[in-house]
Amino acid sequence: MRAINFSAGPCTLPLDVLEEAQDELVDYRGRGMSLLEMSHRSPEYEAVHNEALDLSREIFGAPDEFAILFLQGGASLQFGMVPLNLLGPGQQAGYLASGAWGTKALEDAGHHGKAYAAWDGADSGYTTMPGPEDIEIRDNTRYLHVTSNETIHGTRLSEWPNEARLVADMSSDYMSRAIPWDRFDLVYGGAQKNLGPAGLTIVFVRHSVLEETNRDLASYLRYDIHAAKNSLYNTPPVFAIYMTGKTLKWIQRQGGLAAIEKAAQARSDLIYDVIDGSDGYYRGPVQPGSRSHMNVVFRLPSEEDEARFLGEAVARNMLNLRGHRSVGGLRASLYNAMPMEGVEALASFMSTFR
């Protein structure tokens, strides 16, 4: 029996995708070997690679002005690569310290340049995201870094700031919402939440930005080199790219970005409705306008209740509902591949449990 897996990442993948990969695993399309065993310079792999790149652009609606890079090192490596490449002499970068991830990005940027918090959510316990008017941009700001969805706190940036060029970590709501591309210089995220297995990081970067990046870096750290080599500068994470390509095709079959965005809203609404209709039994700490469509966090009256809830959920095949260890409580991660039936099962269990 397949578990209903609410893991925050790596996380549930579409069953179709897993079964296709299973069918093809040992003997990839009659070649007598698996894709895992083939050269990344083989025509078979090259087709997989280019198809995944094309699908990324098509599904996310990225204009031609953007290069798409398939990298490794997770979003975490981008916390360093972004300032290393983009921050020139005399420039600084603003960061939304909107939660655990935004704060980590800010701290890492500080190792490579001048970075400041353009907004800090610590005072509110990271229960809200800023509106554009809350953000303070200083002089000579090269970019404003935003985390579109704070995975641990369950908050979502609903309004994109417009006062500086944007760089976004979209790891936990990647390709699940349309974005105003004209405001962005760079968008990045790990694949392992919305798009595929761990091991692949996808970066969208403006060609004009590539022309002015810092070149005084080790080769792998240079965006312009990856772009010039079509993300084949070195051995890419071939299996992660293959699986992500299959998931992107699955997204296309669901109706593309607009359909995926609507489905995400419907899934999270269902759980928020249970929380809001529970007479205070379930408490959602996040301000309503900042509620994540991906990670729904909630509390029960006591930690004992929460432990019992988790135990009974497991008995009903609903796994990984424990909140991040740094914040406690409960968290249901409802990424692209989470079927509506899984969310309905959780909503119904929440009502019964209460």
Ligand X SMILES: *Cc1c(COP(=O)(O)O)cnc(C)c1O
Residue 147: φ, ψ to 5°:
-110, 110
Q: Indicate the residue among 85 and 172 with the shorter CB distance to ligand X.
A: 172
* CA gap 343, 352 in Å, rounded: 14
Please say if 246 is a catalytic residue.
no
Answer for which of 75, 167, 286, 346 binds ligand X (CB under 6 A) is 75
- Minimum Å gap between C-beta 171 and ligand X is 4
Q: Indicate the residue among 102 and 245 with the shorter CB distance to ligand X.
A: 102
Please say if 250 is a catalytic residue.
no
Residue 321 tokens, joined: 């509902």
What 3-state DSSP class applies to 292? Answer: coil
Report 100-119 residues binding ligand X (CB under 6 A): 101
Q: Is residue 92 a contact residue for ligand X (CB under 6 A)?
A: no
**Packing angle of the helix pair 238-254, 43-60 (nearest 10 deg):** 40
CA-nearest of 3, 5, 24, 13 to 192 is 13
Residue 318: φ, ψ to 5°:
-105, 110
CA dihedral 272, 99, 194, 3 (to 10 degrees): -60
DSSP letter at 99 equals S
Residue 124: Cβ within 10 Å count: 16
- Minimum Å gap between C-beta 251 and ligand X is 19
Contact stretch for ligand X (CB under 6 A) within 10-18, 73-81, 137-145, 235-243? 73-81
Contact stretch for ligand X (CB under 6 A) within 50-58, 72-80, 136-144, 210-218? 72-80
Q: Is residue 121 a contact residue for ligand X (CB under 6 A)?
A: no
In the set 101, 173, 224, 249, the catalytic residue is 101
Q: Indicate the residue among 302 and 326 with the shorter CB distance to ligand X.
A: 326
Q: How many residues bind ligand X (CB under 6 A)?
A: 12
Q: Indicate the residue among 153 and 299 with the shorter CB distance to ligand X.
A: 153
What 3-state DSSP class applies to 35? Answer: helix
Q: Is residue 74 a contact residue for ligand X (CB under 6 A)?
A: yes
DSSP letter at 299 equals B
Q: Is residue 85 a contact residue for ligand X (CB under 6 A)?
A: no
CA distances from 308 to 4, 260, 295, 350 (A): 18, 33, 21, 12
Which amino acid is located at 231 in the chain? S
Q: Indicate the residue among 28 and 244 with the shorter CB distance to ligand X.
A: 244
Answer for which of 56, 98, 141, 172 binds ligand X (CB under 6 A) is 172
What 3-state DSSP class applies to 144? Answer: strand
Please say if 101 is a catalytic residue.
yes
Residue 176 tokens, joined: 């699940």
Q: Is residue 151 a contact residue for ligand X (CB under 6 A)?
A: yes
Q: Is residue 126 a contact residue for ligand X (CB under 6 A)?
A: no
DSSP of 304-320, one letter per residue?
A: HHHHHHHHHHHHTTEE-
Answer for which of 5, 56, 155, 171 binds ligand X (CB under 6 A) is 171
Q: Is residue 190 a contact residue for ligand X (CB under 6 A)?
A: yes
Q: Indicate the residue among 73 and 131 with the shorter CB distance to ligand X.
A: 73
Catalytic positions, written as ranges: 101, 169, 193
Residues that bind ligand X (CB under 6 A): 9, 74-76, 101, 147, 151, 169, 171-172, 190, 193
